[in-house]
Amino acid sequence: MIRIPLLEAEPLADFPPVEMALEQPNGLLCAGGDLSMERLLRAYRRGIFPWFNAGEPILWWSPDPRCVFELAGLRPSRSLRRFTRASIWRISADCDFEAVISACAAPRDQGTGTWIDARMRAAYLAMHRHGHAHSVEVWDGQQLVGGIYGIAIGHVFFGESMFSQRSGGSKVALFALARQLFEWRFVMIDGQVRNPHLISLGAGEVARSRFLQLLDLHCSAPGRGGSWSRDWTISSASQLD
C-alpha cells in the first residue's frame, strides 16, 4: 500500500518538500487539499502540479527528472515547416479558452475517460478569468482544429494539455506558443512528464533540482497577466516557417 502525506483543507496549508516525492510512481508527493487559485499558483512555483483521474482524490506530483522545452533552441521540424508554409490555418490566443480545455478533456479513444474532470475544468477556468491560465487556438475557418493551454508565471509557461482535431493541430499550437513566448523572453515550457510524443517535438529532461533552480530564477520575472489576445502577434501557421 502506498502511503503519502495528506494536505489539510485550509488553502494556506503547505506542501511537503518535493524531495519527499516517491520514486515509484515517479513524483507522487501528496494528496488532498483543493484546487483554489492560491494553492495552484503556489504549487506551480514549487514544481508541483495536480494530476488525478475522475473519482480519485486530488493527487499532487513533482517528478524527477522533469520534461521541459527550452525555448532558446526549440525549432519546428522540417516537415512541419513545409506543412505550415502552405497552411491557411489561423492562430489566436485566449479567444476561446473554454473550447480548448473542453477539447483537451474529451476522451482520446473510444470508451476511455479523462483526467480533466469537472473540478479541474472549474479551477483552470477560474485561473483563466484571473489572467493566469492561457490558451492558444488553431483555426481552419471557424473550426477549432488544435490547441494548448497552461499556466504562465513570470517567464515560465506550465503546459497542461494540448489536442488535435486535425493532423498537426497540436504541433502548430505548441510551436506558435513557443515562438511568441520566446519573443516575450520566456525561457521554457514545462512538459511535466516525459513521453515519446513530447520528446519527438523537441522536449528534453532536466533534474528536478535544476528545474527548481530555474523556477526560482524565472518565476519572479515580470509576467504577462490578463488576456493575451491583444498582445499576441502570431496570426497564421505560415509564420512558423
Which CATH architecture best describes the domain 67-240? 3-Layer(aba) Sandwich (3.40)
Give the mean pLDDT of the chain.
Answer: 93
End-to-end distance of the chain based on CA atoms, in angstroms? 51
Residue 108 has pLDDT above 90, yes or no: no
The model's confidence at residue 209, banded by pLDDT at 50, 70 and 90, is very high
Residue 143 has pLDDT above 50, yes or no: yes
At residue 156's C-alpha, the angle toward residues 101 and 90, to 5°, is 50
Q: Which three cell numbers stand for residue 129?
A: 478569468
Residue 135 has pLDDT above 50, yes or no: yes
pTM metric for this prediction: 0.95
Yes or no: say if 228 and 93 are a contact pair by the CB < 8 Å rule: yes
Task: State mean pLDDT over 22-40.
Answer: 96
Residue 47 has pLDDT above 60, yes or no: yes
Q: What is the pLDDT of residue 144?
A: 98
The model's confidence at residue 55, banded by pLDDT at 50, 70 and 90, is confident
The model's confidence at residue 115, banded by pLDDT at 50, 70 and 90, is confident
Residues of the chain with CATH 3.30.70.3550: 6-64
Residues of the chain with CATH 3.40.630.70: 67-240
167 Cβ contact list (under 8 Å, min separation 6): none
Percent of the chain exceeding pLDDT 70 equals 95
Domain 6-64 has CATH 3.30.1300.10: no
